[in-house]
Structure 1
Amino acid sequence: MNKLDIVDFKIINELQLDCKQSIKQLAQKVNLSVSPVHERIKRIENNGVIDKYVAIIKPELLGLKMVVYCQVKLIKHQEELFDEFEKYIVSLDEVLEASYIAGSFDFLIKVVLKDMDEYQYFVKHKISKLKIISNIQSSFVMSYIKCQTNINL
């Protein structure tokens, strides 16, 4: 991977704020011409620093008003069980994020749903299908204090 310089970091910051801005607009903000900015973006993308470009939506405007963080503990630490959980959890549309964590639990998953009825269905008919889970502890988001996607460089 090529080393990033201060201009690359400025470009990355700008793209995180608005990836739909034109290269011309971006070039003006970083005080370069269009061609070098385009080349830098391609290099940054090719190095894997930028994984993908996405639209950030407001789930509540789509009727998805419940955000739940579930801490999940498996019955024991065994490679096959971790693999089984991972394979299953990535198949669930309600799950936005899933992470291996250290501590009392093995995984932390972020689930977005319409309401408590849908959460109950999720637990009863989807997540509890896995006999390898020994415990689930859920926390419900009441409101956000800070919610951002950009990493300030």
Structure 2
Amino acid sequence: MIQLDATDVLLINELQKDSKQSIKQLSEKINLSITPTHERIKKIEASGIIRKYVALVDQELVGKKFTVFCQVTLIKHQESSFKEFEKYIAPFNEIQEVSYIAGNYDYLLKIVLNDMKDYQEFIMHKISQLKVISNIQSSFVINQIKNETKIFL
């Protein structure tokens, strides 16, 4: 774990709110001059704490109105099966998140698509083609209550 001081935490929180703020704006908010603020940002980025900067897109405004959580169980619990599954699903842009989980299932996938028809096509022609999968169970999002990207420090 990387140790952060109070100023680093303030800076990271500000960047999480709006990463397009200027160095000048950030420096005013954390009470440092521009150069030390810039140096802290570079140090935080170099440490890997900030992995990348992204634009958050409103999925409904671009027609992606259907979110599904799929619980996937593999036939065998062996390293080769896990590797095969993870390699196979990696290129699918429809899949936003993949987590290897403990419990009744092996993986939890968050999939974002246009509609139920797209989901049916995705499952039938992509996911279910993989022979290491024994079971897929899906839950469909009715209404998203909270969706945060901020990590609270």
**TM-score, length of structure 1 as denominator length:** 0.97
Distance 1:2 1:35, change over 3 A: farther
The structural deviation recorded for 1:3 is 2.6
Alignment of 1:93-104 (within 5 A): 93-104=93-104
The answer on 1:78 being equivalent to 2:71 is: no
Tell me how large the CA RMSD over aligned residues is.
1.0
Letter in 2 for 1:106: D
Secondary structure of 1:37's counterpart equals helix
1:21-65 deviation line (CA, Å, top 9, x unaligned): 000000000111000000000000010000000000011111110
Structure 1 equivalent of residue 148 of structure 2:
148
Distance 1:2 1:134, change over 3 A: closer
Separation in structure 2 between the aligned mates of residue 82 and residue 2 of structure 1, nearest angstrom: 30
Separation in structure 2 between the aligned mates of residue 2 and residue 103 of structure 1, nearest angstrom: 30
Distance 1:2 1:130, change over 3 A: closer
Alignment of 1:60-79 (within 5 A): 60-79=60-79
Letter in 2 for 1:45: E
The answer on 1:49 being equivalent to 2:49 is: yes
The structural deviation recorded for 1:93 is 1.2
Secondary structure of 1:137's counterpart equals strand
Letter in 2 for 1:146: K
Letter in 2 for 1:124: M
Gaps of 5+ in 2: none
Separation in structure 1 between the aligned mates of residue 13 and residue 47 of structure 2, nearest angstrom: 16
1:70-109 deviation line (CA, Å, top 9, x unaligned): 0000001011110000001111111011110000100000
Structure 2 equivalent of residue 11 of structure 1:
11
**TM-score, length of structure 2 as denominator length:** 0.97
Distance 1:133 1:2, change over 3 A: closer
Structure 2 equivalent of residue 111 of structure 1:
111
Structure 1 equivalent of residue 90 of structure 2:
90
Separation in structure 2 between the aligned mates of residue 47 and residue 93 of structure 1, nearest angstrom: 28
1:118-150 deviation line (CA, Å, top 9, x unaligned): 000011100001011010110111111111111
- Counting matched residue pairs gives 153
Secondary structure of 1:61's counterpart equals coil
Aligned-pair identity (%): 61
The structural deviation recorded for 1:2 is 5.7
Gaps of 5+ in 1: none
